[in-house]
Structure formats: C-alpha cells, structure tokens
C-alpha cells in the first residue's frame, strides 16, 4: 500500500459548489476510484488559503496503468470537466500534473 497526498488551489467563488458536488459524488465515480485500487480517499479544504489537500491509499501494483483506466473512463471525464474549472493548479506543480503531488515525510500508525 502506498499513501499519496496532493494539493491544488480552488477558486474562492467555487468553494460552495465544489463542496455540494462532492457531498453528492456520483456512484459511478466512487466505483471507478475503487476499481483503480484507490482507498481511504479524502479531500480537505483550507478556506483561508483556498487550497484543497487530497489523500488516498493506493493498493494496486501499477499506479500509471490504473490512472490511465480512470482517465479513459467517459463518466470520469464528465466529472473532471465539472471539477477542473473550479480548481487552480499551483504554479509550482511538476510538468504534466494537475494536482501537485506531495512527498510523504512522516507517518505514524
């Protein structure tokens, strides 16, 4: 299992809509997340900084392959088309990233 964290900005005028959307996440989106070996997925909001922090645990063997399956899914593409305009990627993100992936520097069970 691999723990993964990521950050992205959110447009201040989109916070309420983003919260509503995720409070009613489409069942097929949740099923795709599970199909792609992602568990224990949470998104946190820092209102003061307009930042989202995402965390999940990846239980598969090939994250790139599972990510490609998710990215090719028509319903996921539809979901992302709604979510992405609400978000503001960080200027410091790595090339090819939307959400900025983070390095785990500490963990305690």
What's the total number of domains in the chain? 1
Q: Check residue 59 and give its pLDDT.
A: 97
Q: Check residue 97 and give its pLDDT.
A: 93
Q: Check residue 108 and give its pLDDT.
A: 94
Q: How far is CA 107 from CA 11, 17, 51, 85, in A?
A: 30, 32, 22, 33
Q: Is residue 101 part of a domain?
A: no
Which segments of the chain does DSSP mark as H helices, in order?
A: 15-23, 27-35, 63-72, 74-83
Q: Is residue 104 part of a domain?
A: no
Q: Is residue 106 part of a domain?
A: no
Low-confidence ranges of the chain (pLDDT < 70): none
Q: Check residue 64 and give its pLDDT.
A: 95
Q: Check residue 34 and give its pLDDT.
A: 98
Q: Is residue 103 part of a domain?
A: no
Q: Taking a C-beta distance cutoff of 8 angstroms, is the pair 97, 89 a contact?
A: yes
CATH code for position 36: 3.30.70.100
Q: Check residue 48 and give its pLDDT.
A: 95
Q: Taking a C-beta distance cutoff of 8 angstroms, is the pair 39, 59 a contact?
A: yes
Quote the domain boundaries for residue 14: 2-92
Q: Is residue 98 part of a domain?
A: no
Q: Is residue 22 part of a domain?
A: yes
Q: Check residue 7 and give its pLDDT.
A: 98
Helices 63-72 and 74-83, packing angle to 10 deg: 80
Q: Check residue 106 and give its pLDDT.
A: 95
Q: Check residue 61 and give its pLDDT.
A: 97
């Amino acid at each position: 299992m691999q723990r993964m964290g990521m950050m992205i900005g959110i447009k201040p005028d989109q916070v309420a809509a983003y919260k509503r959307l995720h409070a009613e996440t489409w069942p097929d989106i949740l099923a795709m997340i599970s199909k792609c070996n992602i568990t224990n997925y949470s998104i946190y909001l820092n209102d003061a900084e307009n930042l989202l922090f995402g965390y999940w645990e990846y239980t598969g063997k090939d994250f790139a392959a599972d990510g490609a399956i998710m990215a090719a899914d028509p319903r996921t593409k539809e979901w992302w088309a709604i979510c992405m305009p609400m978000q503001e990627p960080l200027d410091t993100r790595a090339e090819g990233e939307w959400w900025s992936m983070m390095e785990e520097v500490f963990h305690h069970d």
